[in-house]
Chains A and B, each alone.
Chain A
Amino acid sequence: SQTIHQWPATLVQPVGSPLSLECTVEGTSNPNLYWYRQAAGRGLQLLFYSVGIGQISSEVPQNLSASRPQDRQFILSSKKLLLSDSGFYLCAWTPRLETQYFGPGTRLLVL
């Protein structure tokens, strides 16, 4: 069966520090991968999606970036975090382009 992992689960970082969040999917190949951010009490905002290795589409201009170095690995990065980057980051994958399967999320607090 397929599983999706995210780490770390929780992260507290100072403003201006770098960021690296990792997402991996097991049990499938060539998935579409997604990064979302969820502000407290709000819906999900799509940040990036990828349909293949090295193929990244950005939905919202910001100081974040994404990379897909391997088929089932999706990384969210920042060189310098802002206070506004705080939130709940969710990774998701889809095998058939419709239903998405979400990871457990990473809660990021930027101080």
Chain B
Amino acid sequence: SQQGEEDPQALSIQEGENATMNCSYKTSINNLQWYRQNSGRGLVHLILIRSNEREKHSGRLRVTLDTSKKSSSLLITASRAADTASYFCAITSGGSNYKLTFGKGTLLTVNP
């Protein structure tokens, strides 16, 4: 399966701490994206990193990509209670840039 797999499945931290989530995949990718989903809502795109990139930043988010290990990590710095959500990685691969394959997600709980 080309599916991305997030690790851990659930993460609970205190406000102000950093949160790190990991994603592993099994095939060569075109790009890898991270999405966020608040409970009962649609997904919101956070950041996209291409296969030839190693690191990207967006505000308090930092994403790294290691294609040799087929893995990516999402770091949220100085977490806030409002960051509580599920976080999903999604990949595109082969000739299918228009199809995303999602992992099962990491549920992040930030305690105030």
Contact = CB atoms under 8 A, between A and B. Distances in A.
B45 A99 contact: yes
Contacts of A104: 41-42
Contact of B42 (A42, A49, A103): A103
- Chain A contact-residue range equals 20 to 34
B interface: dominant SS? strand
Interface stretch (B14-22, B56-64, B74-82, B94-102): B94-102
Nearest to B9: A41
B42 A90 contact: yes
Nearest to B98: A97
Interface in A48-97: 49, 51, 59, 88, 90, 92, 94, 97
Contacts of A97: 97-98
A46 B100 contact: yes
Given A51-B98, A90-B43, A99 B105 contact: no
A59 to B, nearest CB: 8
A105 B40 contact: yes
Interface of A: 32, 36, 42-44, 46, 49, 51, 59, 88, 90, 92, 94, 97-105, 107
Rank and list the top 10 A-B pairs by shortest CB-CB distance, nearest first: A102-B42, A43-B104, A44-B102, A102-B43, A43-B102, A97-B98, A97-B97, A99-B45, A104-B42, A105-B42
